[in-house]
Each structure stands twice: as C-alpha cells, then as structure tokens.
Amino acid sequence: MSAASQNPSENLLAALRGRAMARNTVWNVVGQLSPVMIAAFSIPILIRRMGVDRFGVLTLAWALVGYFSLFDLGLGRALTKVASDRLASGKERELAGAVWTALAMMVAMGALVAVGISLGRDWIASSVMKVPASLYPETIRSIYPLAFSIPLITATSGLRGVLEAQHRFGITNAVRIAMGAFSFLGPLVATQFSTSLFLVILVLVAGRIITAFIHFFLCLHTTPSLRSGIFLDRTTVPELLSTGSWMTVSNLIGPIMVYLDRFLISAFLSVAAVAYYATPFELVTKLWLVPVALTTVLFPAFAAFSVIDQAKLKINYARGVRSCFVLLFPAVFLIFLFAPEGLHLWLGQRFAQQSTVVVRWFALGVLINGLANVPFALLQAADRPDLTGKLHLIEVPFYIAGSVAAIHYYGLPGAAFVWALRLIVEAVILFVLVRRVLFRNALPLRFIAVVLLAVAALFVVSMELRLTTKLISAVIVLGLYVIGSWWAALEDPERNRLRAWFGAMVQARD
C-alpha cells in the first residue's frame, strides 16, 4: 500500500492547491466527454435499429431510473461533505463509521424504492410512461431489472463520494470512461442480436453491477480504515440526515423539473415527439459536463475551505463561476449559430425541422444553469442546503403549470422555452442568495456585463442567416468573447500564467 493511501488528510491538503484542482477538473471533463463522443456515434444507430417509439421508451426508462435512484435521503452528497469535513479536521478514524453507516442507509432506501417500482410496474408503464400497446409487454418485463439496479446505483454514488472527498478524480474518471463506453456500446452490440428493450436494459444493468463493485474495491484501497471491519456509527446518523435532508429535496425535485417535460410531451403529444425532444436534449445537455466536472471538484474543496479558510472559499467561488462561463460560451454560441445545419447532418432533415428551436433553448438553459452550479454547490457545502431545497419547492408548481400550458399551446418549442426560463430564474436567485448569505461583491460588475452581452449575442445569431454570414458572425463574436474574457473573466495571476505559457510556447518554437 502506498504512503499516499495511508494519509488521506495529506492527500486532501495537496489536492486543494490550485494546480491540483485544475488537473482534477480536466480529469472530470475527460471522464464525462469520452462517453459523449461514443453516444454521438451510437444514438443514431440505436434509433435506426430500435425504432423511434422503442427508443423513446428507453429514454423514459433511463429518466425514470435516474429519478428514483435519488431516493437516498441526500446521503450521497452528504457523505461527500461529511468525509471532506473529517479529512479537513484530521479525523480520519471517524471516517469509516460514517461511510459504512451512510452506505447501509442508502442501500436500504434503494431497496425500498426498488420494491415500490416492482409493485407499481403496471401503473408506471401505462400512466407514467404512456407506453404504446405494442411495446407494453416488453416494457413491463424491463421494469424488474431497472428496479434491481437502484440499490446498486445509490450505493455507487456514496462510494464515489468517498473517493471524491479524497480528490481521487483520476481513478474515478478512469472507471467512468470505461463504464460510460459500455453504457452505449453494450446496447449497440445487444441490438445486433435483438431489438428487445428487455435485452438492452439487462446489458445496462450488468454495467451498473460491475461499476458498483469496482467503486467498492477502490474505496477499500484508498481508505484503509474501511478494511478494519463493517461497523455502524449511530452518532453520525443525525449529521448525515441533517445535511442530507434538504439535499434530498433538491435531489427529488430537481430531476422532476429536468425530466418532467418528457412525460408531459408523451401524454399531450406522442412518444415519437419525446424522441424529437429528448435526443437533442441528451446531446446539448452534455455540455453540463463542464460545470459538473468543475463543481464536483469544488464541492469537497468548498466543504474543506468552509472549515479552514473563508478567504480561499470566496476566491474559489468567484473563480469557479468565471471558469464556467469561459469554458461554456463558445460551444453554446456555435450551437445557437449552426443548430439547423448540425441537426440535419447528425439526425436528418426531419429532426432539424422539429428540434432547431428546441436545441437553442436547451443551449441557453445549459449556459445559465452551468454558471448557477457553482453557487448551488457552495450553498450546500457551506451548510445551507436548506436554501436550495426551499427554492426547488417554490419552483415546482410554477414550472409544472407553465410546462403544461406551453406544451398544450406551443408544443416542443414551448416546453423547451419554459425549461430554459426556469433555469434562468433559478440562477438569478442562487446568485442573490450567495451575495446575501455568504459573500458580497464576489463577482465584479464588468464580468456580469460581459455575461449579459454574451446572452444578447446568442439571440442575435439565432435569426435566419446565410452560411457565409454565420461564418463571419462566428469570427466576430468569438473574437469579442476572447477580449471580454481576458478583460472581465481572468484575474492578474491567471493572465500572467497565460502570458508565461504563451512565452514558453514561442521560445520552444524558436
């Protein structure tokens, strides 16, 4: 066993340095981007082999399991925070009890949810998923393995949280790359033999089982105290529940507001319409890998800094927001500009006609929500998850009413508009909450101005333009983006590092 694995707190202090956090963020981006590239190749083939209706049911099944797997009392996120607190305070011996206790609670909750889904399979298929009669039998069969996977998924999120609290992002992302590839290539291979929904889901569940066991053995390796035996620490239960209870509210309500529109579209329009909506959604929202990669690193860092250094907490918060904007905007802008052409090349003319406006609203929502991920993570790490939970509770009725009306009157574009509008309003509130509860003036006005101008540019380029005009617009706007980012999104130390890097590159070429 390496010395590193025997000293988790020393690893934590090393990981909180700027370069280490940047390296871990890159690991997260690579770990999440690799499956996206495979998905872009696999999804069109899966649609052709399975058919639009069957693939639409598969996307609903993914969304359903993703939602019900969050019935873990918020313990996955809470365990990451508690583990970070223990490591930052030098209490490694108390970490094992917290881990075993949280895992036992998560598996128990996952098992209860699995039983509930199995018993309610007929209602889920007929009333929630609105499955066509021709697909009803195989959908019913498929719900059993989906339910079985839920305890494994919840346990895996807790185990991953332990590794992330130690900033072991290299190994977690190595697993994510391998299993993310399996999640798309496995079904692709399965459809060579049969287009049965049941077979495809069996393959996906097999991948979940493998992933759970890999995470378990990695935790045993990096946290030696776990190998001393399985024991529960009742004293950690109140801490886990108090931290996780409001996180549970966000965990349960957040996915409703992300995926509810699919079920409403299925109910008001058709399952085929879900495919025209969900397929571009799955691609565009992969841009979330950037803020997710960043905030996955920042969350345990925020939790540690909230214990040991408030000044660094504020610095890393502002740096996280600026970094999300710098990394997200170019991709969002290009999606806005070339959405019709991109959809036509990827999925065909019919998808381009049905989904262009939808894709653009998705892209705007992803940009704004990407920035909001940072204050969201900060509030939860700084012991204020109640604020994010209450915000989601307030949002729900307005979002449901707005979505129903928009889908009824405007179809898919209406659903996408309300989805994006909800994220914009939520982002504004989150930034205001951080300003009032934690920091004032963490983000300079010039940065806010650049963000507003960037959003305005998106609406300008969404007009019908010739390809030549689009190319010219791309050069102009991206040039202004570089200037604005240098002026408003970077600090002097970051500019100096970039100058030094460019200088070294020039010298190397000479």
DSSP, collapsed to helix, strand or coil, labels residue 91 as coil
* Residue 392 pLDDT greater than 60, yes or no: yes
Query: Which of the two residues, 392 and 17, has the higher pLDDT score?
Result: 392
Residues ≥6 apart with Cβ < 8 Å to 415: 261, 264, 265, 277, 358, 403, 406, 407
- Give the pLDDT of residue 422: 92
- Give the pLDDT of residue 2: 44
* Residue 394 pLDDT greater than 70, yes or no: yes
Burial of 26 (0-12, 13-18, 19+ CB in 10 A): middle
Which domain does 475 fall in, by range?
3-509
Residue with tokens 């319409």: 273
Q: Identify the helix (H) or strand (E) that includes residue 232.
A: none
Q: How many CB atoms lie within 10 A of CB 308?
A: 12
pLDDT category at 5 given cuts 50, 70, 90 is very low
- How many independent structural domains does the chain possess? 1
Instruction: Report, as an integer, the average pLDDT of 369-398.
Output: 89
pTM: 0.71
Return d(Cα 356, Cα 131) in angstroms, integer. Answer: 26
Closest CA to 346 of 301, 283, 252, 299: 283
Query: Which of the two residues, 180 and 376, has the higher pLDDT score?
Result: 376
The dihedral region occupied by 223, where left means phi > 0, alpha psi between -120 and 50, and beta the remainder, is beta
Q: Residues in the chain, how many?
A: 510
List, for residues 446-476, the tens digit of each pLDDT value.
888 888 888 888 888 777 777 788 788 888 8
What share of the chain has pLDDT > 90, as a percent? 9
- Give the pLDDT of residue 4: 43
Instruction: Report, as an integer, the average pLDDT of 349-369.
Output: 85
- Give the pLDDT of residue 373: 92
pLDDT category at 1 given cuts 50, 70, 90 is very low
Q: What is the mean pLDDT of the chain?
A: 80
Instruction: Report, as an integer, the average pLDDT of 266-279.
Output: 79
List, for residues 49-100, the tens digit of each pLDDT value.
888 778 877 777 766 666 565 666 667 778 888 887 777 766 677 778 888 8
* Residue 19 pLDDT greater than 70, yes or no: no
Contact 332, 386 (CB under 8 A): no
